[in-house]
């Protein structure tokens, strides 16, 4: 299929033209004239990032299984093509049929991180679609969104007609059936779709503010509109169909491998982790499902690597049997197995020994905090002894490279906790040198890095404060100075993420509807691809805050427990009372057992007839 809008001259001028041509193996092809609903499915980032997202493949196939629907993909054009499209008035188009996005009946965004918000506006703008839902006519597509960001949709609420809160497999058929019924009456459709569980229509709600800028009230405008939106959950994981025809990109994408989702949810209860709360309860695929799916996907794609996907793969109840099967199958076919999110223990190291080549890759420890006191505050669930004994076993097993991940700015953090980052790294190095010299492999390398804590909705830390970018830089500087000036080992390297990005992420994570104007202003100033360090412009964001009369400090302050939060109208199943209890436990350094050790009454029992559930294999 020839590209309708990009001729050969244009394609030769842009980086990676294969981002825009479509026609990949297993791409869905339908006659647009033979369907009733046309959907543009957008991941608001470049093609390589979007095509690495398993959610995009799931939703793409979910929609295209319907005979009456044609779902086509849309991605954000990179800076080079964006400039050309504006200069030549080229409308943004879909990959499948090369049709203008504005010709779609619906345009859906999958949003996994807050720093994509200006790219949502880029897609709308290049498509010729008004940015605000209130400015769109009957001729414009219905704009909807899903993904992790919808757990606080308020900063982007004014741009969307509706947002889907929950797992995609449960309610979209109802939504599309309603669209067919009311397709010529957008206002009626939005009123009716608001009755579907998990669907939030921002225009049907009114927000009032107190004089201090906090929310006074959040109420439906009509009696039939629900006051609470309930998150939608797949209760039987094996009911989720295989991806029958996974699209195989022509170019290397960020996650260039088969992704095997083994379960959803997590038992650990880390107090900073949003995913660990919003995906409760733990739900596993059966072993037979996973065996069949792995083989089928590897055969369909021809991939040379398969990765296990979950929040904590070691907690999968059939992990040993699954890995035994995968090792047996992949060793013959020379396929690599990738094992992210393993806990560092003797079992995990034994597993990694079996699946990795003779040349050992680096081990990753997500310690998060430098002292045991602070790890207890965040309920990390690992001790210093776990880390050091795991390191010793790893060094004896032939590893010599360790990556250590930490967070700075955690609740109750002190200077001693920050010094503890370097101290812990030095203790790890010392375990290496405790091994007889003849048993060591190469030179030990320890790479420590820090991100900056961002309080997220529906976590026990959703009330916590953040710091300014300068304060974060000072914290990181303290860690670096301690490592450089006071530690004996020179094998420790330290780096940190950009604190300006974290501060802005914190604003969006807990922001309200007043931020829509901020996002629009920043976009028009030139902000795009804010998740990319080379593209992020803190100076332009600072100017946007000034223009809009808003302050990052207001959004990143500590919240009062009785304050109305922008996301309080969403029910994820985990009760607010539990989060408050966990917040108080954190302040007192009290550990909460994981879900297999003891039920803590979080509220996730509301699913599946009032019982926390895991699939029986």
SS3 206: strand
Dmax (CA) for the chain in angstroms is: 77
Q: Confirm if 416 and 371 have CB atoms less than 8 A apart.
A: yes
Domain-located, residue 205:
yes
* Whether residue 602 sits in one domain with residue 462: no
Please give the pLDDT value at position 610: 39
CA atoms 600, 604, 606, 608: torsion sign: negative
Angstrom distance (rounded) from CA 279 to CA 574:
10
Q: Which residues, in sequence order, are CB contacts of 302 under 8 Å at separation 6+?
A: 248
Predicted pLDDT of residue 313: 87
* Inside any domain, residue 526: no
C-alpha 570/C-alpha 230 separation (Å) is 6
Q: What is the mean pLDDT of the chain?
A: 93
CATH number at residue 608: 3.30.750.210
**Mean pLDDT score, 462-470:** 98
Residues 82 and 198 in one domain: yes
Asked, as a colleague might, if the bond just before 8 is cis with ω within 30 of 0, I would say no
| Cα dihedral across residues 506, 507, 512, 515: positive or negative | negative
Q: Is the pLDDT of residue 60 over 60?
A: yes
CB 271 within 8 A of CB 586: yes
Pairing type for strands 401-408 and 258-261 reads: unpaired
Ranking 75-89, 221-235, 239-253, 279-293 by mean pLDDT, the lowest is 239-253
Residue 142's H or E segment, with its range, is: strand 142-146
Is the separation of the CB atoms in 509 and 463 below 8 Å?
Answer: no
Say if 138 falls within a structural domain.
yes
Confidence (pLDDT) at 611: 44
What's the pLDDT tens digit per position in 381-401? 999 999 999 899 889 888 899
Hey, is 128 helix, strand or coil? coil
pLDDT at 193 over 90: yes
Task: Find out whether 39 and 145 touch, Cβ atoms under 8 Å.
Answer: no
Regarding whether 159 and 38 lie in a shared domain, the answer is yes
Domain-located, residue 455: yes
Question: For residues 437 and 535, what is the distance between their CA atoms, to the nearest angstrom?
Answer: 46
Per-residue pLDDT, 332 = 87
Q: What is the pTM of this model?
A: 0.94
3-state secondary structure at position 73: strand
Q: Using CA atoms, how far apart are residues 28 and 10, in angstroms rounded to an integer?
A: 25
Q: Of 230, 260, 293, which closes a domain?
A: 230
476, 497, 518 — which closes off a domain?
497
Q: Is 95 exposed, middle or buried (0-12, 13-18, 19+ CB in 10 A)?
A: buried
Query: What is the SS3 assignment for 493?
Result: strand
CA distances from 8 to 3, 15, 20, 96, 308 (A): 9, 13, 12, 18, 39
Residue 544 has pLDDT above 60, yes or no: yes
The predicted structure's pLDDT at residue 616: 41
585-588's contacts with Cβ under 8 Å and 24+ in sequence apart are 585/379, 585/460, 586/271, 586/377, 586/378, 586/379, 586/411, 586/412, 586/460, 586/461, 587/377, 587/411, 587/412
Closest CA to 484 of 430, 402, 542, 422: 422
Of 262, 413, 241, whose CA–CA distance to 341 is shortest?
262
Neighbours of 562 (CB within 10 A): 5
Query: In this predicted model, what pLDDT tens digit does every residue of 96-114 receive, in sequence order?
Result: 999 999 999 999 999 999 9
CB 535 within 8 A of CB 179: no
Q: Quick one: 479 and 368 in the same domain?
A: yes
Do 592 and 599 meet the contact criterion of CB atoms below 8 Å apart? no
Domain that holds residue 247: 235-352+572-617
Exposed e or buried b per residue across 250-266, where buried means at least 16 C-beta atoms within 10 angstroms of its C-beta: eeebebbbbbbbbbbbb
In this structure, are 299 and 426 located in the same domain? no
The stretch 452-480 carries a mean pLDDT of 98
Tell me, yes or no, whether 306 and 401 share the same domain.
no
**Residue 80 CA: distances (Å) to CA of 23, 83, 613:** 22, 5, 49
Same domain membership, residue 201 and residue 111: yes
Query: Residues 72, 101: contact at Cβ < 8 Å?
Result: no
Write the CA distances from 357 to 314, 352, 402, 457, integer angstroms.
20, 9, 17, 40
Q: How many domains does the chain have?
A: 3
What's the pLDDT score for residue 406? 97
572-589 core/surface letters (b: 16 or more CB in 10 A; e: else): bbbbeebbebbbebbeee
Is 382 contained in some domain? yes
Task: Give domain status of residue 58, yes or no.
Answer: yes
Give me the sign of the Cα torsion angle 559, 563, 568, 569: negative
| Higher per-residue confidence, 245 vs 224 | 224
**Does 278 lie in the same domain as 164?**
no
Dihedral angle over CA of 291, 294, 299, 302, nearest 10: -150
Partnered with residue 166 across adjacent β-strands are 232
Distance CA 340, CA 307 (A): 7
- Residue 606 pLDDT > 80, yes or no? no
Task: Look at residue 510 and tell me if it is in a domain.
Answer: no
State both tokens at 378: 């965040």
Nearest to 454 by CA among 393, 503, 396, 381: 503
Report the range of poorest mean pLDDT among 79-93, 241-255, 445-459: 241-255
Whole-number percent of the chain with pLDDT over 90: 82
For residue 597, what pLDDT is reported?
93
Distances (CA, A) of 316 to 24, 274, 530, 581, 611: 34, 19, 35, 27, 19
Tell me which of 447, 480, 497 is where a domain ends: 497
CA 61 – CA 44 distance, rounded (Å): 19
198 and 267 fall within a common domain: no
To which H or E segment does residue 199 belong? strand 199-200
For range 114-124, the mean pLDDT: 98
**452 in a domain, yes or no?**
yes
Token pair recorded at residue 209: 């503010």
Is pLDDT at 17 greater than 50 in this prediction? Answer: yes
Q: What is the mean pLDDT of residues 317-329?
A: 91
**pLDDT exceeds cutoff 90 at 1:** no
Q: What are the φ/ψ torsions at residue 358 (nearest 5 degrees)?
A: -60, -40
pLDDT of residue 615 exceeding 60: no
Q: What pLDDT band is residue 341 in, cutting at 50, 70 and 90?
A: low
Q: What is the domain-level CATH number for residue 425?
A: 3.30.750.200
**Position 609 pLDDT exceeds 50:** no
User: Does 557 score more than 90 pLDDT?
Assistant: yes
- pLDDT of 356 reads 61
Residue 71 has a pLDDT of: 98
Domain shared by 194 and 225, yes or no: yes
31 and 170 share a domain?
yes
Judgement on whether residues 203 and 252 belong to the same structural domain of the protein: no
Distance CA 40, CA 101 (A): 7
What pLDDT is stored for residue 614 in this prediction? Answer: 46
């Amino acid at each position: 299929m020839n590209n309708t809008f990009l001729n050969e001259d244009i394609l030769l001028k842009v980086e990676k033209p294969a981002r825009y041509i479509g026609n990949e193996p297993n791409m869905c092809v339908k006659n647009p004239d033979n369907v009733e609903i046309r959907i543009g499915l957008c991941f608001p980032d470049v093609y390589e990032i979007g095509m690495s997202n398993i959610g995009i493949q799931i939703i793409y196939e979910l929609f295209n299984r319907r005979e009456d629907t044609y779902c086509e993909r849309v991605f954000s054009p990179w800076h080079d093509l964006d400039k050309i499209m504006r200069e030549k008035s080229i409308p943004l188009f879909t990959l499948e049929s090369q049709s203008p996005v504005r010709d779609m009946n619906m345009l859906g965004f999958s949003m996994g991180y807050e720093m994509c918000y200006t790219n949502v506006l880029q897609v709308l703008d290049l498509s010729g679609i008004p940015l605000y839902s209130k400015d769109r006519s009957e001729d414009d597509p219905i704009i909807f969104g899903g993904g992790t960001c919808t757990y606080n949709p308020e900063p982007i609420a004014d741009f969307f007609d509706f947002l889907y809160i929950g797992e995609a497999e449960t309610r979209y058929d109802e939504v599309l059936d309603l669209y067919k019924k009311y397709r010529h009456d957008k206002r009626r459709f939005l009123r009716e779709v608001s009755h579907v569980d998990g669907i939030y229509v921002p225009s049907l709600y009114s927000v009032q503010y107190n004089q201090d800028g906090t929310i006074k009230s959040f109420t439906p405008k009509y009696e039939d509109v629900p006051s609470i939106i309930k998150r939608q959950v797949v209760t039987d994981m094996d009911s989720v169909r295989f991806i029958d025809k996974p699209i195989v990109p022509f170019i290397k994408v960020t996650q260039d491998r088969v992704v095997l989702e083994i379960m959803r949810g997590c038992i650990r209860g880390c107090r900073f982790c949003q995913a660990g709360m919003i995906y409760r309860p733990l739900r596993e695929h059966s072993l037979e499902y996973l065996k069949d799916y792995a083989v089928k996907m590897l055969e369909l794609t021809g991939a040379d690597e398969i990765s296990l996907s979950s929040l904590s793969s070691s907690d999968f109840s059939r992990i040993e049997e699954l890995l035994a099967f995968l090792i047996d199958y992949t060793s013959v076919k020379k396929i690599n197995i990738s094992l992210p999110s393993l806990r560092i223990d003797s079992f995990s190291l034994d597993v990694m020994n079996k699946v990795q080549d003779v040349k050992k890759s680096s081990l990753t420890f997500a310690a998060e905090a430098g002292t045991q006191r602070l790890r207890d505050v965040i309920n990390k669930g690992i001790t210093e002894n776990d880390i050091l004994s795991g390191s010793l076993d790893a060094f004896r097993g032939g590893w010599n490279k360790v990556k250590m991940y930490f967070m700075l700015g955690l609740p109750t953090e002190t200077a001693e906790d920050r010094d503890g980052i370097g101290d812990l790294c030095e203790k790890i190095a010392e375990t290496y040198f405790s091994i007889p010299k003849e048993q060591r492999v190469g030179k030990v390398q320890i790479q420590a890095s820090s991100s900056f804590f961002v309080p997220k909705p529906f976590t026990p830390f959703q009330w916590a404060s953040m710091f300014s970018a300068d304060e974060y830089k000072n914290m990181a500087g303290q860690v670096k100075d301690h490592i450089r000036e006071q530690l004996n080992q020179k094998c420790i390297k330290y780096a940190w993420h950009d604190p300006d990005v974290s501060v802005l992420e914190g604003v969006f994570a807990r922001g309200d509807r007043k931020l829509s104007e901020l996002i629009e202003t920043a976009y028009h100033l030139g902000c795009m691809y804010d998740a990319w360090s080379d593209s992020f412009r803190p100076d332009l964001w600072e100017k946007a805050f000034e223009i809009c009369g808003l302050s990052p400090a207001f959004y990143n302050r500590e919240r009062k427990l009785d304050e109305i939060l922008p996301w309080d109208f969403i029910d994820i199943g985990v009760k607010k009372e539990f989060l408050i209890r966990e917040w108080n436990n954190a302040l007192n350094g009290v550990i909460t057992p994981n879900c297999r050790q003891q039920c803590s009454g979080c509220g996730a029992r509301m699913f599946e007839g009032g019982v926390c559930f895991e699939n029986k294999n």
